[in-house]
Structure 1
Amino acid sequence: MKMIIGVDEAGRGCVIGPLVVAAFKIDEKLEPTLKELGVKDSKLLLPVARKKVYDKLVSYEHCLKIISATELNELMGKRVSLNDIEAMKIAECLKELDGEKTTVFVDSPDSIPEKFTKRIKKYEKISAKIVSENKADSKYLCAGAASIIAKETREMEVVRIKKIIGDFGSGYSSDEKTIAFLKNNYGKNSKLEEFIRTKWATIKNLQTTQVDLKKYF
C-alpha cells in the first residue's frame, strides 16, 4: 500500500480571520475515487457543492491547522515569513499523519516551488518525497481534497467570527464589504482586534482607501 498526501491552504490573503492548512492522506490506488466524490480545486466548486464534498472527505485521514490572526501577527512580528509559517504548519501535519515513505503533493505559494520543499524540510526532517507545484490543487486530486477541507473549514471559522464581531464580508481586502466594515468598526469594537492581521501588507493597502488605521497600531 502506497500512501499519498495532498496539501493546500485557505485564507492566505485575508486581512480578517485565520489561515487554514489542510493535509489529506489516501492510498494512491484509491485516489481516482476522489473524482467520483466530486473532488476538484475548491475554487471551482460552488459553496453548496463544496460542502457536500467536504462532508464526504472528512471521514478520510487528514490534518488541519487553523492559524489565528493573533498567531500570525506574533510570528510575523518575529520576522517569520508567511511562506515559512505555512511550511511550518505543513511539516507539523506531515509528522501527525506519519508522512514517512509517502509522496506529498503540495500547492506551493513560492513562485519557485523547489524553495517551498526546502522550507518544509527545514521544519521537519522526513524521508517523504515532497512534490511542490504551483496550482497543485488543480493537478492532483489529493491536493484538491485538501483544498476543499481547508476552504470549508475557513468558511466555518468565518461564520463563527461573524457571530462575535458582525458581518465583515469575505475578509479579503479586495472585498468592499470588508473595507467598509473596517472603516466603520476598527478601533470601536474591542472584540475585533484579535481577528485582524495587523502585520499584514493588506493593512497598507487599506490605508490607500483612506481608512485611517495608523492611530490604532
Structure 2
Amino acid sequence: MICGVDEAGKGSVLGPMVVAGVAVRSAAVFDDLGVKDSKTLSPAERERLFPLIKKRCRTAVVILPSEEIDRIRREMTMNAIVARAHAQVIEKAHPKTAYVDACDVNPLRYAETVKSHLATPCEIVSEHHADDTYPIVSAASIIAKVTRDREIEKLKEKYGDIGSGYPSDPVTIAYLSAYIDEHRVPPPIARKSWKTVSALLGKKSQSSLAAFF
C-alpha cells in the first residue's frame, strides 16, 4: 500500500486547514483520471474528480479548525503542526510508503519530522512540489482542497461572505476588518496567532487612540 499526502489552507487566516491522504495498491489507478495539483484545476474539475478518487482509493482526512491551530502554535511551529497532521493521516492509511509534499526548506528534515510522529514504521518520500510530481499526491491535494472548500462554504452560511480565507483575498481582509470594527475582537474562525490579525488589531487600536487627539 502506498499513500500520498497533501494539505489545503495552511496559510489561511480564516477557517480550517485540511490534510488529506489517498492510499492505493498501485498508482496505475490514476492513469485514466488525469489528476493534477488541485491548484491547477478548476473548482468544477476538482468536484468531478473528488468522488472518483474516493471510489477508487482509501482516503483519510484531518481537519484542524482555526482555534485548534492557535492552541497548538503555542507549543510548535506551523511546519511541525503540518508534519504531525501528515503523520496522523498516514497512520489512518497504514501504507508501506508515503509520498508527502514537503513543508520545510529541507525535505529530508521534513521526512524525519513526519516519522517522529508515527507509531508504525513507514518510508517517507518527502519532496517539494510532490503534488506536481506524483499523481497520488495530486489526488490527495484534490481531496484536501475540495474538503476545505466545503468547510468554507459552511462557514459562509453562518458568518457571511468571508472570501477564500486567505490573507491575499481582499474579500477576506474586508470581512476581517469589518468584524473587528464592529466587535473589537477577531471572529471565532480567525487564526488569532496570525500576523494578519495582530496587524489589523494594532491598526484599529492606533486609529482609536488617534481619535482622542
Scaled by the length of structure 1, what TM-score is found? 0.88
Q: How many angstroms apart in 1 are the aligned matches of 2:181 and 2:97?
A: 47
CA contact (8 A) 2:20 2:140 kept: yes
Bigger Cα displacement from structure 2, 115-124 vs 197-206? 197-206
| Aligned-residue offset at 1:202 | 3.1
Measured in 2, the distance between the counterparts of 1:214 and 1:145 equals: 46
The answer to whether the Cα contact below 8 Å between 2:181 and 2:204 also exists between their aligned partners in 1 is no
Alignment partner of 1:171 is 2:165? yes
Paired residues of 1:179 and 1:206 also in contact (CA < 8 A):
no
- 35-44 vs 11-20, greater mean Cα deviation: 35-44
Mapped pair 1:143 → 2:141: no
Map of 1:1-217 to 2, 5 A cutoff? 3-28=1-26, 31-59=27-55, 60-76=57-73, 78-99=74-95, 102-186=96-180, 188=182, 193-204=187-198, 206=200, 210=203, 212=205
Tell me by how many angstroms 1:182 deviates.
1.0
Give 3-state SS (helix, strand or coil) of 2:182's partner. Answer: coil
State the distance in 2 between where 1:133 and 1:144 align.
13
Tell me the secondary structure at the aligned position of residue 58 of structure 1. helix
Alpha-carbon spacing, 1:131–1:37, altered in 2? closer, same or farther (3 Å): same
**Counterpart of 2:77 in structure 1: which amino acid?**
S
Judging changes above 3 Å, is the alpha-carbon distance between structure 1 residues 192 and 55 closer, same or farther for their aligned structure 2 residues? Answer: farther
Equivalent AA in structure 2 for residue 49 of structure 1: E
What is the SS of the residue equivalent to 1:36?
Answer: coil
Unmatched 5+ residue regions in structure 2? 209-213
| TM-score normalised by L of structure 2 | 0.89
* Shift, 1:163, TM fit: 0.6
Q: Match of 1:199, as an amino acid? A: S
Q: What count of residue pairs does the alignment treat as equivalent?
A: 207
- Residue identity over aligned pairs, in percent, reads 34
The code of the aligned residue for 1:89 comes to: A
State the structure with more CA Rg: 2
For 1:91 and 1:211, how far apart are their aligned partners in 2? 39
Partners of 1:65 and 1:98 in 2: CA distance: 15
Gapped regions of structure 1 (runs ≥ 5): none
The letter of the residue matching 2:191 is: R
Q: Secondary structure at the match of 1:173?
A: coil
Task: Give me the CA root mean square deviation.
Answer: 2.3
